[in-house]
């Protein structure tokens, strides 16, 4: 399993939201370029960048900063937030972004997203599903910056794309994200069991090395962590197994 550090951008700054709530934001006194350098030096080969402004209103407010991070070519970037039309994705990929992460469009514009997977390729388009677990234990997909719940289960959403070559799926359990309560390993274990050919990226709730080992055991391909790394909660020696360039 690979550890992918996350950088969330809002108005050009590094932040973390608790449970995706735009009102409960933690700001970090680090600029994105310094943070990228820190994670590169740690040994990461990919970073996960989220444009929170874009995720909320569909614009590309942090585009300039993201392009500036990409042209350093220090690490590969996967970028999400606001990628809802072909031009936005093409612009990102042309600017040197390794992979576009498509979120709410994956439910709202299914034919379009299928076309992106085929046109840009399965390595360059990842789908991100933010889920919350309903009363029956079913992961339900949330949309629009976690402000709306959809009728889709995670499984029906993934089923929509298996024939289009879908390979990388990022799944965030909204109930765990930014809360340091431990990742939902049961959810990821089931996801890997149902779709063993998909490279699952797990996001949300990672507190310590034990959580990383548990995700690796569940069979996920990548663990995305923001807060635990920003706050240096895990000693380097415990992170090293999951960092390709460490």
Partner 1 sequence: MSVTEVVIIANVGANIASLRFALERLGASSRVTADLDQIRNASHVILPGVGAAADAMRRLHEHNLHTLIPSLRQPVLGICLGMQLLFEASDEGQTECLGIIPGRADRFDASVGRPVPHMGWNTLNIERPSAFLDGLAQNDYAYFVHSYALKLSEATVASSDYGKPFSACVNWHNFYGVQFHPERSAKVGARLLQNFLRL
Residues serving a catalytic function are 8, 130
CA nearest to 45, candidates 19, 86, 17, 76: 76
H/E stretch holding 51 reads strand 46-51
Q: Environment class of residue 112 by beta-carbon count within 10 Å: exposed (0-12), middle (13-18) or buried (19+)?
A: middle
Q: Does 44 participate in binding partner 1 (rule CB under 8 A)?
A: no
Which one, 12 or 244, has the nearer CB to partner 1?
Answer: 244
116/200 with CB nearer partner 1:
200
Q: Are 221 and 195 in contact (CB under 8 A)?
A: no
Does residue 238 belong to the site contacting partner 1 (CB under 8 A)? yes
Site map (CB under 8 A) of partner 1, residues 192-211, x = contact = ------------------x-
User: Least distance in Å: CB of 238 to partner 1?
Assistant: 7
In the complex, the smallest distance separating the C-beta of residue 65 from partner 1, rounded to whole angstroms, is 29
**What are the residues whose beta carbons fall under 8 Å from the beta carbon of 54, sequence distance 6 or more?**
60, 61, 62, 81, 82, 83
Report if residue 246 touches partner 1, rule: CB under 8 A.
yes
Residue 2 in contact with partner 1, rule: CB under 8 A: yes
- Report if residue 190 touches partner 1, rule: CB under 8 A: no
Q: Is 216 in the site for partner 1 (CB under 8 A)?
A: yes
Verify binding: residue 188, partner 1, rule CB under 8 A: no
Instruction: Specify the residue, 18 or 243, whose C-beta has the smaller distance to partner 1.
Output: 243
Among 77, 88, 142, 221, binds partner 1 (CB under 8 A): 221
For partner 1, which is the closer residue by CB, 165 or 244? 244
- Smallest distance from the beta carbon of 198 to partner 1, in angstroms? 13
HEC assignment per residue over 75-133: CEEEEECCCCCHHHHHHHHHCCCCEEEECCHHHHCHHHHHHHHHHHCCCCEEEEEEEEE
Q: By CB under 8 A, name the one of 37, 90, 133, 243 that touches partner 1.
A: 243
CA-based Rg of the chain, rounded to a whole angstrom?
16
DSSP line for 211-223: HHHHHHHHT-SEE
Q: Decide: helix, strand or coil at residue 70.
A: helix
Nearest to 39 by CA among 230, 234, 170: 230
Residues 112-151 that bind partner 1 (CB under 8 A): none
**Residue 240 within binding range of partner 1, rule CB under 8 A:** yes
Catalog residues that contact partner 1 under the rule CB under 8 A.
1-2, 210, 213-214, 216-217, 219, 221, 237-238, 240-244, 246
């Amino acid at each position: 399993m690979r550890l992918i550090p996350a950088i969330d951008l809002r108005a050009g700054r590094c932040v973390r939201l608790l449970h995706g709530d735009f009102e409960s934001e933690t700001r970090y006194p680090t600029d994105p370029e310094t943070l990228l350098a820190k994670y590169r030096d740690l040994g990461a080969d990919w970073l996960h960048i989220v444009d929170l402004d874009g995720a909320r209103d569909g614009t590309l407010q942090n585009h300039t900063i993201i392009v500036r991070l990409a042209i350093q070519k220090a690490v590969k970037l996967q970028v999400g937030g606001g990628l809802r039309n072909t031009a936005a994705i093409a612009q990102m990929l042309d600017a040197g972004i390794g992979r576009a992460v498509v979120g709410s469009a994956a439910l709202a514009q299914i034919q379009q997203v299928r076309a992106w997977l085929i046109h840009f390729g399965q390595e360059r388009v990842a789908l991100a599903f933010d889920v919350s677990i309903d009363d029956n234990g079913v992961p339900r997909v949330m949309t629009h910056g976690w402000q709306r719940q959809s009728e889709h289960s995670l499984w029906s959403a993934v089923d929509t794309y298996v024939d289009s070559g879908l390979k990388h799926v990022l799944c965030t359990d909204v109930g765990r994200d930014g809360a340091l309560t431990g990742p939902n390993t049961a959810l990821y274990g089931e996801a890997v069991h149902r779709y063993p050919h998909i490279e699952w990226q797990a996001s949300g709730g990672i507190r310590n090395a034990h959580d990383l080992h548990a995700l690796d055991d569940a069979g996920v391909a990548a663990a995305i962590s923001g807060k635990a790394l920003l706050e240096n909660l895990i000693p380097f020696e415990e992170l090293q197994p999951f960092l390709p360039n460490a």
